[in-house]
Amino acid sequence: MSAAVNLTTDNRFARKLAEYALPLRHTRTEVLQVNVGKLCNLTCIHCHVNAGPKRKEVMTRETIDRVIDWLAKTDIPKVDLTGGAPEMIPDFKYLVERLRALTRPRHIIDRCNLTILLEPGYEDYAFFLAQRKIEIIASMPCYSPENVNAQRGEGVFEASIKALQLLNSLGYGINPALPLHLVYNPNGAFLPAPQAELEADYKRELKQHFDIVFNDLYTITNLPIARFASWLKHNNQLADYMALLQKAFNPATVEGLMCRNTISVGWRGEVFDCDFNQMLKMQWRSEGRGLYLWEIDPSTIEDRVIQTGDHCFGCTAGTGSSCGGALV
Ligand code: SF4
Ligand code: SF4
């Protein structure tokens, strides 16, 4: 049993890590994932953010400035913008331009739901992103309309296809400087199929039917939190899904868990170990209060213990899951 595992917690995941003597601590920070808010044009059933069109939580310009000022003092190479639909916050373009103006260049990723690129008022965003060489990681839970529309809403598949064609026309997925990756997540309470097989299916089907190309497919397991947990409860599947995740625990995934090399920031600047912990309000704390990014000394992150909970079994089931897809 490793001393690095937090044994004060009674969560089953921590016990599992202890059983395998697998410590879970931060390593060098490679990614700053910024969740800019909960505003989104969609309301998908699997959403772990409970995002939607009526949400008011968005990162203000003042908070953006504080995040960028902190980042400028670090050598974190990658910034991953997520939400909601990150493009919908009023200062999205300002945020991207400030990131690009940093003296030390950073790789910028936009996690895009595709449909936003066709909404009124956002028609120039695809071009904006392409011009600035922003990597796009786009949700596309299936290559067939039935599954996508069931999970994300009527008409979402058709809009996603149009948006992918638009991105291809700008060079995304074709020009190596414009990576376009797709994200698959299961349309229910089951684990993703093998990533390489699904990627081959996606590539074949999207090319054949819609002349669409993309780089990589990332399979992501649905974590039993927020809207997906409510959906599971409503369908009486929460206990079975938790049992499935626990049974599929794969110790080989622990080494690659994204919480090791990522820190996650909320729309108010709060700091977390990952976006899922963010949704569970597991904010970093010190002296009885929650911490904000600008209060963190970057040199103290490495070796910090990661807070876990039963939801973490979603990241270690089968081939594992992260914002970059399967882990093993
Ligand atoms: S899953 Fe993504 S696109 Fe769907 S509601 Fe949540 S944030 Fe929006
Ligand atoms: S939910 Fe996943 S990424 Fe987040 S702390 Fe748990 S294992 Fe790490």
**What is the number of the ligand closest to the CA of 258?**
2
User: How would residue 1 be classed by pLDDT, with cut points 50, 70 and 90?
Assistant: very low
Which helix (H) or strand (E) segment holds residue 72: the answer is: helix 61-72
Query: Is the shortest distance between the CB of 86 and ligand 1 below 6 Å?
Result: no
pLDDT at position 261: 98
Instruction: Work out the angle at residue 153's Cα, subtended by the Cα atoms of residues 220 and 166, and round it to the nearest 5 degrees.
Output: 75
Mutation choice for ligand 1 from 49, 82, 154, 227, CB with most ligand atoms inside 8 A? 49
Mean pLDDT of the chain: 94
Query: Is the shortest distance between the CB of 311 and ligand 2 below 6 Å?
Result: yes
**64, 70 contact by CB (below 8 A):** no
**What is the number of the ligand closest to the CA of 54?**
1
C-alpha–C-alpha distance, residues 257 and 326, integer Å: 10
User: How would residue 8 be classed by pLDDT, with cut points 50, 70 and 90?
Assistant: very low
Residue 225 tokens read as 């939190």
Whole-number Å distance, alpha carbon 42 to ligand 1 midpoint, is 6
pLDDT at position 191: 97
Residue 289 tokens read as 């209060």
pLDDT at position 9: 52
Residue 271 tokens read as 């700091």
Least confident of 16-20, 150-154, 272-276: 150-154
Q: Which atom of ligand 1 is nearest to the CA of 43?
A: 5
Q: Where are the beta strands (DSSP E) in 133-261?
A: 135-139, 180-184, 217-219
38 pLDDT more than 70: yes
pLDDT at position 298: 96
Three-class HEC string of 96-118? HHHHHCCCCCCEEEEEECCHHHH
Whole-number Å distance, alpha carbon 325 to ligand 2 midpoint, is 13
Q: Which atom of ligand 1 is nearest to the CA of 48?
A: 6
65 or 186: whose pLDDT is higher?
65
Output the residue whose Cα is nearest ligand 2's atom 6: 312
C-alpha–C-alpha distance, residues 155 and 153, integer Å: 6
* DSSP-assigned letter for residue 317: B
Least confident of 7-21, 39-53, 310-324: 7-21
**315, 223 contact by CB (below 8 A):** yes
Query: Is the shortest distance between the CB of 273 and ligand 2 below 6 Å?
Result: yes
**Percentage of the chain exceeding pLDDT 70:** 97
pTM across the whole model:
0.95
Whole-number Å distance, alpha carbon 50 to ligand 1 midpoint, is 8
Kindly report, residue by residue over 44-92, the tens digit of the pLDDT: 888 889 999 999 999 999 999 999 999 999 999 999 999 999 999 999 9
4 pLDDT more than 50: no
**Percentage of the chain exceeding pLDDT 90:** 89
Strand 135-139 to 180-184 pairing: parallel
C-alpha–C-alpha distance, residues 161 and 167, integer Å: 10
Query: Is the shortest distance between the CB of 49 and ligand 1 below 6 Å?
Result: yes
**What average pLDDT score do residues 135-164 get?**
92
**What is the number of the ligand closest to the CA of 115?**
1
6 pLDDT more than 90: no
Sequence-distant (≥ 6) Cβ neighbours of residue 223 within 8 angstroms: 48, 276, 311, 314, 315
Output the residue whose Cα is nearest ligand 1's atom 5: 43
User: How would residue 187 be classed by pLDDT, with cut points 50, 70 and 90?
Assistant: confident
pLDDT at position 256: 97
**What is the number of the ligand closest to the CA of 46?**
1
Kindly report, residue by residue over 83-103, the tens digit of the pLDDT: 999 999 999 999 999 999 999
Kindly report, residue by residue over 188-214, the tens digit of the pLDDT: 899 999 999 999 999 999 999 999 999
Whole-number Å distance, alpha carbon 303 to ligand 1 midpoint, is 32
Kindly report, residue by residue over 102-127, the tens digit of the pLDDT: 999 999 999 999 999 999 999 999 99
Whole-number Å distance, alpha carbon 191 to ligand 2 midpoint, is 16
2 pLDDT more than 50: no
154 or 295: whose pLDDT is higher?
295
Q: Phi/psi class of residue 50: alpha, beta or left (left: φ > 0; alpha: ψ in -120 to 50)?
A: left
